[in-house]
């Protein structure tokens, strides 16, 4: 949203929020931002800082070789094709619908919603939204395990791959380190 919101709605009482919200999301966002900013300030690898702060896994480092977009049902949908470099050589495809939904290597899904598939600039770990993805960008793809509440059968019915029309089962991403949800108090 470019850092702004045009409206806010669906206000909740505190008891409703505690019953339905994912805990610590703002705290995790603050910790991740602080870690990335600190890495940049000391000219360290910002993507490594992102991985350490989230327990995420680096899935690919490389560049965008194709972006196919279409609009349907009020959503920006498409497919992103990536070419890895160095130890992350190879190809990856990511299907998106406003957000990144499924990452594939070949025809095998390796990460699905509700786990996060984050595309960031390789040099600064700046997030790149689906609207800003362009041919030739140097990117890193980071997978981050979702909060356990999002992987329950009830949650998967509304945020899992099937909720977006995919006939793909959710398999939890293995974390690369301690998950942020468990390290914050």
- pLDDT tens digits for range 5-23: 666 677 888 898 888 888 8
Strands 75-84 and 116-121: unpaired
Predicted confidence (pLDDT) per residue in 58-107, tens digit: 999 999 999 999 988 878 899 999 999 888 778 999 999 989 999 999 99
56: number of Cβ within 10 Å? 25
Report if pTM > 0.85: yes
The pLDDT-based confidence of 166 (bands split at 50, 70, 90) is: very high
Average of per-residue pLDDT across 14-42: 91
| Listed residue (176, 31, 74, 30) closest to 116, CA to CA | 176
pLDDT at 2 over 80: no
Share of the chain above pLDDT 90, in %: 70
Tokens representing 60 are 């690919």
DSSP string, 45-60: -HHHHHHHHHT-EEEE
Distance between CA atoms of residues 145 and 84, nearest Å: 22
> What is the C-alpha to C-alpha distance for residues 117 and 133, in angstroms, rounded to an integer?
14
């Amino acid at each position: 949203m470019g850092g702004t919101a045009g409206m806010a709605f669906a206000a909740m009482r505190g008891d409703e929020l505690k019953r339905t919200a994912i805990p610590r999301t703002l705290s995790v966002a603050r910790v991740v931002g602080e870690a990335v900013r600190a890495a940049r300030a000391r000219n360290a690898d910002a993507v490594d800082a992102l991985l350490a702060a989230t327990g995420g896994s680096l899935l690919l480092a490389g560049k965008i070789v194709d972006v196919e977009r279409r609009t349907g049902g009020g959503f920006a949908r498409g497919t992103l094709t990536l070419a890895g470099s160095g130890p992350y050589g190879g190809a990856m495809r990511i299907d998106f619908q406003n957000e990144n939904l499924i990452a594939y290597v070949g025809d095998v899904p390796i990460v699905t919603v509700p786990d996060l598939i984050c595309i960031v600039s390789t040099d600064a770990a700046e997030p790149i939204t689906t609207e800003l993805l362009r041919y030739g960008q140097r990117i890193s793809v980071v997978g981050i395990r979702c909060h356990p509440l999002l992987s329950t059968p009830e949650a998967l019915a509304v945020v899992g791959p099937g909720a977006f029309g995919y006939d793909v089962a959710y398999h939890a991403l293995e974390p690369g380190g301690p998950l942020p949800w468990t390290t914050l108090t």
